[in-house]
Structure 1
Amino acid sequence: MIPEVGHFALVIALLMAAVQAIMPLAGAATRRPLWMAYGRPMAAGQFLFLLIAYGCLTASYMLDDFSVANVANNSNTMLPWYYKLSAVWGNHEGSVLLWSLMLAGWGFVASIFSRQLPRDMVARVMGVLGAVSVGFLLFVLVTSNPFDRLLPNMPQDGADLNPLLQDFGLVVHPPMLYMGYVGFSVVFAFAIAALLGGRLDAAWTRWARPWTNIAWAFLTVGIALGSWWAYYELGWGGWWFWDPVENASLLPWLTGTALIHSLAVTEKRGSFKSWTVLLAIATFSLSLMGTFLVRSGVLTSVHAFANDPARGFFILMLLAITVTLSLLVFALRAPRVSHKVGFNWLSRDALLLINNILLVIMTVTVLLGTLYPLILDSLGLGKISVGPPYFNALFVPLMAVTSIFMGLGPVARWKRMAAKELYTKLWLAGVVALVLGALIPVFYGPEWNVWVALGMLMALWIVLPILRDIWDKTRNARSFGAGLKKLSLTYWGMVLGHLGVAFTIVGVAVVSHYNIERNVRMGPGDSVEVAGYHFTMTELSSRRGPNFLADTAEIEVQRGENGRQFTMQPEKRLYLATGMPMTQVALRAGFFRDLYVAMGEDLGDGSWAMRIQHKPLVRWLWLGGLLMAAGGLLAVADKRYRRTRVRQQKYASENTGASSSNRASKEALA
């Protein structure tokens, strides 16, 4: 009965999404307030019924209802309850349902925080979000129904969740990633609504910027969590290996980063209007393309959910329709509303434009490397593999050039700036960055490395100009503290975001070139030294977990001769339902280094293959991601984006879609 309730709730949600897609858009086009008013209640109803559907699927998992094919294929009576919760979205059908739920949730929240926006703008935003929901709910019901039954031949027990997914990292990583993907649908809806309304002015960018920052922050955290999960769960110690699915999440992040900066320019200076809209369309389209890559079966990855060409074709059609209609609206409406705003090529406007172009080039580079092998294979021209050498050879130089302009941007003025003034502000930062960038690897690493020095130089060049800019903005205040208080939260968000990039660059450079790894054979009593640490295996034991058997090694670790001692316990697990072996890494985490021990294969006579690694500054990778996300969220808290009423006579009077009662309304900035 519970699955049938869930299926029925999905059908009702689809019908409400269809009403949400049609009525508000028709009302905005014909200036009928009653039709426009359908958007908010339909968004709330759609979210409610999808919440019911998701609750029904969760209940089926918790009750071990193996008559539901989705539960039978992805759960087991021995599976711990907390992994049953994550198993709901740890498969194709459940993940698409979670995606649809989050899409409805974003639409519902957008409807709440847009009550003071012009009525026709809200109607168009709700209509676009409803149309996107219709596409995904049709996808769920037609190709990926999570409530399909196996009656009357239901199994006695389930096949179990993939052991790779039985981990805390996979409990939190997919929801964060989906929140980022789906969050860009709101920005996309605002962009299309602005085009349809013919008003690509500063107002729509102020409304869209908070949603962009929040979605980007979620996506940043999701990518960082995915990197962290791959680092400790897969057993080889890597944090990123240019897997096609990893690339699929990086693509919208790159264009989303460009979009954040482009929105700032459009709001501040009124320029880049068409470019900003194109970035909003591209970012959401790349989110859809990531869904296609993960669920189409066109690639093989530990992250991929499905291997069904029919599902892939459905998403490909959804992507094609979204891109085609969006670009059609852009082609018809953008020329009517665009106008030129002048700026000098030595200005913040120009520097942000160059950074945006570089981010788009990086996006195209990653996109080409990801899709080119798939295109060749589909055309029958052979199979090739594009891996880290290609991506590193192109991405790293582009990132180095981007960091140059990241250092210039914060201290540059809008519209125009004298070259002498820019030189005065930055020459000292440049000298210090060069000197410290060259010296730090001498004192920190085992040997001087040019790539580590380049990474340090890039990071310092990003950070030092910001420190100079903070000094310039606060030196005339009564006190340094008073000067800091005058800086806006948007500014501090920028500072944290750039600081996060610098931390990530340092972590990548150092761990990539100063990582020390030893693959050894160890049994009880055997010792090995790695990076000044003595590792001694003292004991081998076996234990039984809730749904696995594990061989556990106890390893005593001591730094030097008289350093502190501690114990590390790596495991090799065998999951009972699937017979799949898994490595459970032992980690000794630290701010400046990680010690990493992974068990390989049983070599007989009580010995095991062991991988022992010393990974300096690897935590800075994820610290950088968290700082970037915190910067995005901090900017949203700026008073300009709080829900305050301000007079907006001009916008309301010129807004052709507003009713006469709205002509003296006030605007709320969400």
Structure 2
Amino acid sequence: MAVELGHFALVLALALSIVQATVPLVGARVKSYQLMRVGETVAIAGFLLILVSFTTLVHGYIVSDFSILNVWENSHSAKPMLFKITGTWGNHEGSMLLWVMILAFFAAMVAVFGRNLPPSLRANVIAVQGMVAVAFLLFILFTSNPFTRIIPAPIEGKDLNPLLQDIGLAIHPPLLYLGYVGFSISFSFAVAALIEGRIDAAWARWVRPWTLLAWAFLTGGIAMGSYWAYYELGWGGFWFWDPVENASFLPWLAGTALLHSAIVMEKRSALKIWTVLLAILTFSLSLMGTFLVRSGVLTSVHAFATDPARGVFILIILLLFIGGSLALFGLRASSLTSGGLFHPISREGALVLNNLILSTCTATVLIGTLYPLLIEALTGEKISVGAPFFNLTFIPLVVPLLLAVPFGPLLAWKRGDLLGAAQRLQFAFGAVLVVMIGTYFFSDKTSTAAALGLGLGFWLIFGALTDIAFKAGVGKNSLSVVFSRLKGLPLSVFGTAFAHAGIGLTVIGLVSVTTLQIERIVLMKPNDVVEAGGYTLKFSGVTPFKGPNFTEDQARFDLTGPDGRRLGEIAAAKRLYPARGMPTTEAGIRTFGLSQLYVSIGEATPNGLVVHAWWKPRVTLIWIGALVMMFGGGLSLCDRRLRVGAPTRRKTAVEAEA
């Protein structure tokens, strides 16, 4: 009975979404305040219904109700409870239900927290969100119903993909979807503004918090996915330039450009056309990522579905929303004013440079991702575009951008002083030189790339600190005045500094692990030793182990530190899940400060066991930097100027109708 309740709630949510997509739109058109308010109530009710539906599916997984086809295909009674719950979104149907629930959640958030928006704009935003919800609810109900029954019910399930039976699945998809789907609000704001034909600085202030929220979640989602691939797949890497990885990275790049463009629009009423276009393109890239993962055009550990019919349905959704929004943009763009003027050397100019480079980076990654698919569709020939292409095209674009980042906050609006900004950064530059010289002479004299790369990372960190110090008047005022000024700075200033410093930390981690890591591949028998990064691993042997729904052979290694002191054991394993008959590789990882010793095993041979050991210096900074970026985004969201939105004149219902 609970299953039918979940299915019925989903059908009711579709009916309410149709109302949400039409009635507020009509109300805004005829200036009816009552009709516009309908959208708010319906958006909240629709979210609650989808929440009921999703909770019902989670309950089916918890109780192992194998009469539900989705549960039978992706669960097992012996699976640990955490993985039963996370298995709800570890498959195509369940993940799409989570996708739509988050979409409805953001619409409800606008209805609840968007009271300061003009009624017509709020109504149009909620209506556009309703249109997207209608499309994806139809997709779920007609091609991806998670509540399909099996009669008679099987006794046991087929189990979840073993790669997804991990704590990372509990965190990575929800965070990623909050980012992916969160950009739908920016899209809805852009389309709503185009419908009204009015875009101004107030619009930019309203759209910024939603964009920032989605960007922060997407940053965390990408970082968690990278860490999951790093420790779960046993390959020792953190980014493969996999097309599905790129599909999440593309909206992050475009969303970062959108954040900076919206700042210029809010402060100077400039870049209006470009900001609206970016809002459309960012969510369009999110939709494209959804298509790549679920259409069957890609084969990847990240891909959910291989049914071409589903791909065709999503492709139609893409054409409707991307094509429709761009057509509306084309009709309205000529009527939009260009906004304020500014000198190339100014904060606006720095943000424009940021946008140009980020947009070029987005185009580069997009071409590298789609080109193989296009060639295969046209010629049937399969080609691969991998890390060499992206490293040769993406990195040379990003480095100049990162070099310019510390200058931006130190330049004045409208007309800046580049020489003055450079003088304020002289201490940061000096500190970076010390880091580079120290890295070259005391870390690795053969790696100039390591010295330059680490210098770039510290340049971002010291640049962020310089911005805070300059705004607080360090060196010009007494300590008490400095603290007073620090307390008076807007939280968004600290948020920006943390975000830029977080990028610097990630750069340091990336450069350290790619230029300074030590790799060993050896064939080992019991009592053999291998050394990596000053640490010694002594192979003790292989012991069997039985888990709740798997068996594994654990290779155990005695770990000795550089000083000869025993530090315990590291265990790496080959695991087998009998229900699926699928093996996995479980890496052994030991963290020392910011660095890690990483051990993975291959197949056993008559001559011994293949052991792969890495020493990865400062590798954890890759993901710590992402957390710092998220923290910076959270700080900026707490800024009162973003929380209250643009000041608007209060209107009564009668005034709004008039």
TM tier, smaller: over 0.9
1:307 corresponds to which letter in structure 2?
T
Deviates more, 1:460-469 or 1:571-580: 460-469
Q: 1:619 — aligned with what? A: 620
Is the contact between residue 437 and residue 460 of structure 1 (CA under 8 Å) also seen in structure 2? no
1:633 corresponds to which letter in structure 2?
G
Please state how far the C-alpha of 1:344 moved relative to its aligned partner: 0.5
Q: Distance in 2 between matches of 1:482 and 1:441?
A: 40
Q: 2:597 — aligned with what? A: 595
Q: Distance in 2 between matches of 1:389 and 1:5?
A: 51
Find out whether 1:383 has 2:377 as its counterpart. no
Q: 1:448 — aligned with what? A: 446
Q: 1:640 — aligned with what? A: 641
2:655 corresponds to which letter in structure 1?
S
Is the contact between residue 460 and residue 500 of structure 2 (CA under 8 Å) also seen in structure 1? yes
Is the contact between residue 438 and residue 457 of structure 1 (CA under 8 Å) also seen in structure 2? no
Deviates more, 1:500-509 or 1:534-543: 534-543
SS in 1 for 2:50: helix
Is the contact between residue 465 and residue 497 of structure 2 (CA under 8 Å) also seen in structure 1? no
Q: Distance in 1 between matches of 2:436 and 2:272?
A: 38
1:636 corresponds to which letter in structure 2?
L
SS in 2 for 1:46: helix
Trace 1:212-611 onto structure 2 (pairs within 5 A). 212-445=211-444, 447-475=445-473, 476-477=476-477, 478-604=480-606, 607-611=608-612
Q: 2:120 — aligned with what? A: 120
Q: 2:655 — aligned with what? A: 661
Find out whether 1:134 has 2:134 as its counterpart. yes
Is the contact between residue 474 and residue 480 of structure 1 (CA under 8 Å) also seen in structure 2? yes
Q: 1:4 — aligned with what? A: 4
Q: 1:111 — aligned with what? A: 111
Q: Distance in 1 between matches of 2:96 and 2:31?
A: 35
1:544 corresponds to which letter in structure 2?
K
Q: Distance in 2 between matches of 1:645 and 1:100?
A: 29
Q: 1:91 — aligned with what? A: 91
Is the contact between residue 544 and residue 550 of structure 1 (CA under 8 Å) also seen in structure 2? yes
Q: Distance in 1 between matches of 2:397 and 2:407?
A: 16
SS in 2 for 1:67: coil
Deviates more, 1:486-495 or 1:197-206: 197-206
Is the contact between residue 591 and residue 620 of structure 1 (CA under 8 Å) also seen in structure 2? no
Trace 1:45-194 onto structure 2 (pairs within 5 A). 45-152=45-152, 154-194=153-193
Find out whether 1:34 has 2:34 as its counterpart. yes
2:649 corresponds to which letter in structure 1?
Q
Q: Distance in 1 between matches of 2:17 and 2:453?
A: 49
Cα RMSD of the aligned pairs, angstroms, is 1.8
Q: Distance in 1 between matches of 2:305 and 2:77?
A: 23
1:621 corresponds to which letter in structure 2?
I
Please state how far the C-alpha of 1:230 moved relative to its aligned partner: 0.5
Query: C-alpha offsets along residues 434-481 of structure 1, whole Å, 9 cap, x if unaligned?
Result: 453243233123x43122122123223323333333222222554322
2:347 corresponds to which letter in structure 1?
R
Q: Distance in 2 between matches of 1:121 and 1:630?
A: 30
Please state how far the C-alpha of 1:341 moved relative to its aligned partner: 1.2
Q: Distance in 1 between matches of 2:452 and 2:40?
A: 52
Q: Distance in 1 between matches of 2:270 and 2:285?
A: 24
Q: Distance in 1 between matches of 2:51 and 2:464?
A: 45
Deviates more, 1:423-432 or 1:609-618: 423-432
Please state how far the C-alpha of 1:647 moved relative to its aligned partner: 5.3
Please state how far the C-alpha of 1:420 moved relative to its aligned partner: 3.5
SS in 2 for 1:413: coil
Q: Distance in 2 between matches of 1:163 and 1:24?
A: 46
Deviates more, 1:413-422 or 1:304-313: 413-422
Is the contact between residue 412 and residue 422 of structure 1 (CA under 8 Å) also seen in structure 2? yes
Is the contact between residue 551 and residue 573 of structure 1 (CA under 8 Å) also seen in structure 2? yes
SS in 2 for 1:642: helix
Is the contact between residue 588 and residue 594 of structure 1 (CA under 8 Å) also seen in structure 2? yes
1:623 corresponds to which letter in structure 2?
I
Is the contact between residue 294 and residue 306 of structure 2 (CA under 8 Å) also seen in structure 1? yes
Q: Distance in 1 between matches of 2:139 and 2:573?
A: 41
1:290 corresponds to which letter in structure 2?
G
SS in 1 for 2:523: strand
Is the contact between residue 33 and residue 657 of structure 2 (CA under 8 Å) also seen in structure 1? no
Is the contact between residue 51 and residue 101 of structure 2 (CA under 8 Å) also seen in structure 1? yes
Q: Distance in 2 between matches of 1:284 and 1:57?
A: 27
Deviates more, 1:455-464 or 1:346-355: 455-464
Please state how far the C-alpha of 1:333 moved relative to its aligned partner: 2.3
Structure 2, unpaired ranges of 5+: none
Q: Distance in 2 between matches of 1:539 and 1:184?
A: 51
Is the contact between residue 573 and residue 581 of structure 1 (CA under 8 Å) also seen in structure 2? yes
Q: Distance in 1 between matches of 2:440 and 2:209?
A: 40
Trace 1:15-30 onto structure 2 (pairs within 5 A). 15-30=15-30
Structure 1, unpaired ranges of 5+: 653-657, 665-670
SS in 2 for 1:38: helix
Q: 1:668 — aligned with what? A: none
Please state how far the C-alpha of 1:645 moved relative to its aligned partner: 9.3
Q: Distance in 2 between matches of 1:450 and 1:272?
A: 40
SS in 1 for 2:592: coil
SS in 2 for 1:547: coil
Q: Distance in 1 between matches of 2:500 and 2:422?
A: 21
Is the contact between residue 368 and residue 389 of structure 2 (CA under 8 Å) also seen in structure 1? yes
Please state how far the C-alpha of 1:280 moved relative to its aligned partner: 0.6
Query: C-alpha offsets along residues 590-621 of structure 1, whole Å, 9 cap, x if unaligned?
Result: 3331011112212247x422111110011000
Please state how far the C-alpha of 1:433 moved relative to its aligned partner: 2.8
Q: Distance in 1 between matches of 2:105 and 2:39?
A: 14
Please state how far the C-alpha of 1:151 moved relative to its aligned partner: 1.9
Q: Distance in 1 between matches of 2:468 and 2:68?
A: 59
Please state how far the C-alpha of 1:521 moved relative to its aligned partner: 2.2
SS in 2 for 1:520: strand
Q: Distance in 2 between matches of 1:552 and 1:72?
A: 30
Q: Distance in 2 between matches of 1:542 and 1:156?
A: 28
1:465 corresponds to which letter in structure 2?
G
Q: Distance in 1 between matches of 2:218 and 2:533?
A: 35
SS in 1 for 2:553: strand
2:490 corresponds to which letter in structure 1?
S
1:111 corresponds to which letter in structure 2?
A
Q: Distance in 1 between matches of 2:563 and 2:633?
A: 46
Q: Distance in 1 between matches of 2:332 and 2:389?
A: 39
Q: Distance in 2 between matches of 1:227 and 1:450?
A: 27
Q: Distance in 1 between matches of 2:127 and 2:236?
A: 46
Q: Distance in 1 between matches of 2:315 and 2:503?
A: 33
Query: C-alpha offsets along residues 78-115 of structure 1, whole Å, 9 cap, x if unaligned?
Result: 21121110111000011001100111111111211012
Please state how far the C-alpha of 1:373 moved relative to its aligned partner: 0.3
Is the contact between residue 32 and residue 657 of structure 2 (CA under 8 Å) also seen in structure 1? no
Is the contact between residue 64 and residue 76 of structure 1 (CA under 8 Å) also seen in structure 2? yes
Q: Distance in 2 between matches of 1:105 and 1:77?
A: 31
Please state how far the C-alpha of 1:289 moved relative to its aligned partner: 0.4
Q: Distance in 2 between matches of 1:220 and 1:199?
A: 31
Please state how far the C-alpha of 1:274 moved relative to its aligned partner: 0.9
Q: Distance in 1 between matches of 2:523 and 2:9?
A: 56
Deviates more, 1:455-464 or 1:107-116: 455-464
Aligned-residue identity in percent: 47
SS in 2 for 1:588: strand
Q: Distance in 1 between matches of 2:226 and 2:203?
A: 34
Is the contact between residue 403 and residue 462 of structure 1 (CA under 8 Å) also seen in structure 2? yes
Query: C-alpha offsets along residues 276-335 of structure 1, whole Å, 9 cap, x if unaligned?
Result: 111110110000000000000101100000001111111111111111111122222233
